[in-house]
Amino acid sequence: MESILAGLIKFRTQDYEEHKNLFCRLKNRQEPHTLFIACSDSRVVPELITKSLPGEIFVVRNIANIIPKYHETQEDLTISATTAAIEYAVKVLNVKSIIICGHSNCGGCASIYLPDAVLDNIPNVKKWLELAENVKTRVMEELKDDDELMKREWLTEQMNIVEQIKHLLTYPFIVEKYNNKELEIVGMYYTIETGEVFIYNSKKGFFELAN
């Protein structure tokens, strides 16, 4: 806790003072241009990765950057928090872009392969990860028996991003804006150890290094 308190003081005396005018302009309203959906992993810092200032991105984070399908959130209110944030960002804040950001060494993505005996100890996490069951199925169909664990890892993480884009497009109010070219949807894969970011090219069907 001491490091947190020290950080608060440093923010107030240094960072806040540097951007004081910006914070004053933001005191009554926010107008972010992008909804950034990321994993809750502590190593992923959206504002740092994108070099965004306060007020620029509306951030939603959960385990494995999962987006429940539209119909699923209507049936089960225990998984509606992410949906509520998406709805607010698109319909109220009127964001122009949605980024779904996955990352390397994602514990959430790795956990979908854990046996039930392990996940039974974390029932809420287990239920949440069921939303990625289709990703697991697709990965296992593509992998060969002799494929290395590392390949399964990055394949799962990247396929998960693509799958969540599909989930996002089950929301009627998103589909409408997307089809009218009023909303851009981007898949992003962040490699922690190198700092590299890859963007999904939907026409080519793979991720390309952002440069």
Q: Which residues are catalytic?
A: 39, 41, 43, 103, 106
Q: Which two tokens stand for residue 125?
A: 């996490």
Pairing of strands 197-201, 206-209: antiparallel
Pairwise CA distance, residues 56 & 41, whole Å: 21
CB 132 within 8 A of CB 68: no
Instruction: Report which DSSP code applies to 15.
Output: I
Q: What is the DSSP string of 168-189?
A: HTT-HHHHHHHHTTS-EEEEEE
Q: CA-to-CA distance for 168 and 58, rounded, in angstroms?
A: 16
Nearby residues of 189 by Cβ (< 8 Å), 6 or more positions away: 101, 102, 103, 104, 157, 158, 161, 197, 198, 199, 200, 207
